[in-house]
Structure 1
Amino acid sequence: MRAIWKGAITFGLVNVPVKVYSATEDHDVPLHQVHDADGGRIRYQRRCEVCGKVVPFEHIDKAFENGEQTVVLTKDDIASLPAERDREIEVVEFVPSDQIDVLLLDKSYYLEPDSSSPKAYVLLRRTLEETDRTAVVRFALRQRTRLAALRVRDDVLVLQTLLWADEVREAAFPALDGSPKVSDKEMAMSAQLVAGFESDFTPSDFDDDYQVQLRKLIDAKIEQGDAVDTAATFGEEPEGEGGEVVDLMDALRRSVEKSRGGAGKGSGAKGSGSSGSSAKGGAKKSGGSRAKKKSTA
């Protein structure tokens, strides 16, 4: 991994030098766009509206328009901002870890001690662990002031940037106004269905079905050309029951039955093939099309 930023965590008079690394990476199959008529590569160009020339990235500045004036901001202008020059990850407060709403979490970064002695790093890590607190920090990265949660993961300090409060939309759905009454029997049946799917979450147990199938399709086209037999490649499409289920109890009952019937039959997911949805009677694999649990058979 390559460090993308260097700075120091500061709280009180304590200074913890760190290097920042991206904690995640994209596993999607890389695709580009081509012309469907001749397969020619489609490329995007940054073309100036005044001179008509294609402009290389190093000669592109940013600008702000207010309807009357255009203010051009050069790279030197932006680099002169105090926040841009600041290399401190300032601890604002320590909060109970359960107060960080997961909806606010954005990008994740690993922090490595950038000092000959990691004592201050270890001290901060142990303090967060033993007090069950998360540090709310503020810093500047890539031309933005960031708010972030600093916590511990597997003995490493992790920085997770947070969305600002005004970046989270309010969920106002009229259909939920005066929610319909749910009976005790329906709740009991639903709880029984949940029990049939209970498990400990292990991320490595799941595959990204879409990317697996996309890679399989690419390999098939390399081998067979454009005339790919999708049925032979992916198998016949299973027929679902489909249709809208009006009776919620009936949907719950059938789902519980499927959950019981699927247990111990080689599927890696408990109750695979059942659906907890009241709107669909058809079978839907646990995890959906984007992340199906790996089979342990």
Structure 2
Amino acid sequence: MRSIWKGVIAFGLVNVPVKLYSATEDHDIALHQVHDKDGGRIRYQRRCEICGEKVDYEHIDKAYDDGEHTVVLTGDDLSSLPVEKSREIEVVEFVPSAQIDPIMLERSYFLEPDSKSTKAYVLLRRTLEETDRTAVVQFSLRQKSRLGALRVRGDVLLLQGMLWNDEVREARFPLLDQEVKITAKERQMSAALVDSFSEDFTPEKFTDDYQEQLRQLIDAKLEKGDTLATEETFGGTGGEDADGEEGGKVLDLMEALRRSVEKNRSSKEKPKSTKPEAAAAKTRRKKGA
């Protein structure tokens, strides 16, 4: 990993020098836009609407338009703002971790000690762990003043960008204002359904099926040297669900809960066949056909 920012965590008279690293990465396969007629790459160019010339990025400034007037902001203008020059992650307050609403969280960054002595870093990490607190911080990154949550992940301090309060919309849906009657039996069945799905969360068991299928499709096309239809690669999908029942049918809530519980329980109780056994069974089915 390569650090994208250097600065200090500042709380009180204590400064903790740190390096900032992106904690996440995008695993999506990169796709380009092309012309369907000849496969030519589609590219976008930055052109000035006044002179029509193509403009290099180094000659592009930013501007604010209020509808009548345009205010041009140069790179020097933006860099003159005090917050842009700040290299501090300023701790504003320590709050109970449970009070941080996940909807406010954005990008995550790992913080590495940037000093020969890691004592202040470790002390802050242990203090957050032992008090079950999250540090609410303010910092500047990429020409923006940001709010953040500083917490512990394993042995590392993790900084998570946060939305400002006025950036989170308020949800108001009229249907939810209506009184809804839920019976004790429905609550019991719903709880049973939740219980049948209850597991410890293990992120590694979940995979991005779309990206995997996209890679299979690309590999199949490369192997054939030309094109291959999606249906030929993955098989078609009809108007029925996985159980052979027609989709879109509206079920009674209790019936839907009952079916869900039974389906999930039966799938857990069914013994899993090994790959060789599954392959042998598939071969027998083909021969019988």
Same fold (TM over 0.5): yes
Q: Specify the code of the residue in structure 2 equivalent to 1:214.
A: L
Counterpart contact for 1:135–1:151, Cα < 8 Å: yes
C-alpha displacement of 1:231: 4.3
Any idea what the Cα deviations from partners look like across 1:149-202, whole Å, max 9, x if unmatched? 000001100000100111111111111112411111011111111111111111
C-alpha displacement of 1:66: 2.3
Kindly name which structure, 1 or 2, has the bigger radius of gyration based on alpha carbons: 2
Q: Which residue of 2 aligns with 1:30?
A: 30
Q: Counterparts in 2 of 1:96-115, with a 5 A limit? A: 96-115=96-115
Q: Which residue of 1 aligns with 2:45?
A: 45
Q: Specify the code of the residue in structure 2 equivalent to 1:244.
A: K
Q: Which residue of 2 aligns with 1:270?
A: none
TM-score by length of 1: 0.86
In the alignment, the residues of structure 1 paired with residue 116 and residue 271 of structure 2 have an alpha-carbon distance, to the nearest angstrom, of: 51
C-alpha displacement of 1:228: 2.2
Q: Which residue of 1 aligns with 2:249?
A: 244
In the alignment, the residues of structure 2 paired with residue 231 and residue 107 of structure 1 have an alpha-carbon distance, to the nearest angstrom, of: 37
Q: Which residue of 1 aligns with 2:276?
A: none
- The answer to which of 65-74 and 80-89 deviates more is 65-74
How many corresponding residue pairs?
A: 267
Equivalent position SS for 1:52 = coil
In the alignment, the residues of structure 1 paired with residue 195 and residue 233 of structure 2 have an alpha-carbon distance, to the nearest angstrom, of: 35
Gaps of 5+ in 1: 268-297
Q: Specify the code of the residue in structure 2 equivalent to 1:153.
A: R
Equivalent position SS for 2:199 = coil
Change in 2 beyond 3 A, CA 1:224/1:184? same
Root-mean-square deviation (CA, aligned residues, Å) is 1.5
Q: Specify the code of the residue in structure 2 equivalent to 1:245.
A: V
- The answer to which of 233-242 and 171-180 deviates more is 233-242
Q: Which residue of 1 aligns with 2:64?
A: 64
Q: Which residue of 2 aligns with 1:76?
A: 76
Q: Which residue of 1 aligns with 2:261?
A: 256
Q: Counterparts in 2 of 1:165-180, with a 5 A limit? A: 165-180=165-180
Counterpart contact for 1:245–1:251, Cα < 8 Å: no
Change in 2 beyond 3 A, CA 1:90/1:191? same
Q: Which residue of 2 aligns with 1:16?
A: 16
Change in 2 beyond 3 A, CA 1:227/1:13? closer
Q: Specify the code of the residue in structure 2 equivalent to 1:160.
A: Q
C-alpha displacement of 1:237: 3.2
In the alignment, the residues of structure 1 paired with residue 249 and residue 80 of structure 2 have an alpha-carbon distance, to the nearest angstrom, of: 60
Q: Which residue of 1 aligns with 2:132?
A: 132
C-alpha displacement of 1:254: 1.1
In the alignment, the residues of structure 2 paired with residue 98 and residue 179 of structure 1 have an alpha-carbon distance, to the nearest angstrom, of: 30
Equivalent position SS for 2:89 = strand
Q: Specify the code of the residue in structure 1 equivalent to 2:75.
A: K
Equivalent position SS for 1:263 = helix
Q: Which residue of 2 aligns with 1:211?
A: 211
Q: Which residue of 2 aligns with 1:54?
A: 54
- The answer to which of 229-238 and 143-152 deviates more is 229-238
**Structure holding more helix per residue:** 2
Change in 2 beyond 3 A, CA 1:266/1:143? farther
In the alignment, the residues of structure 1 paired with residue 65 and residue 177 of structure 2 have an alpha-carbon distance, to the nearest angstrom, of: 42
Gaps of 5+ in 2: 273-289
Any idea what the Cα deviations from partners look like across 1:6-34, whole Å, max 9, x if unmatched? 11000000000100011000000010100
Q: Specify the code of the residue in structure 2 equivalent to 1:124.
A: L
In the alignment, the residues of structure 1 paired with residue 198 and residue 66 of structure 2 have an alpha-carbon distance, to the nearest angstrom, of: 55
Q: Specify the code of the residue in structure 1 equivalent to 2:255.
A: D
2:216 matched to 1:223?
no
In the alignment, the residues of structure 2 paired with residue 201 and residue 250 of structure 1 have an alpha-carbon distance, to the nearest angstrom, of: 28
In the alignment, the residues of structure 1 paired with residue 264 and residue 142 of structure 2 have an alpha-carbon distance, to the nearest angstrom, of: 48
Change in 2 beyond 3 A, CA 1:181/1:85? same
In the alignment, the residues of structure 1 paired with residue 37 and residue 122 of structure 2 have an alpha-carbon distance, to the nearest angstrom, of: 60
Equivalent position SS for 2:180 = coil
C-alpha displacement of 1:230: 3.7
Change in 2 beyond 3 A, CA 1:213/1:266? farther
Any idea what the Cα deviations from partners look like across 1:64-88, whole Å, max 9, x if unmatched? 1223322211111111110000111
Task: Report sequence identity in percent.
Answer: 69
Given candidates 252, 261, 270, the residue that maps to 1:265 is 270
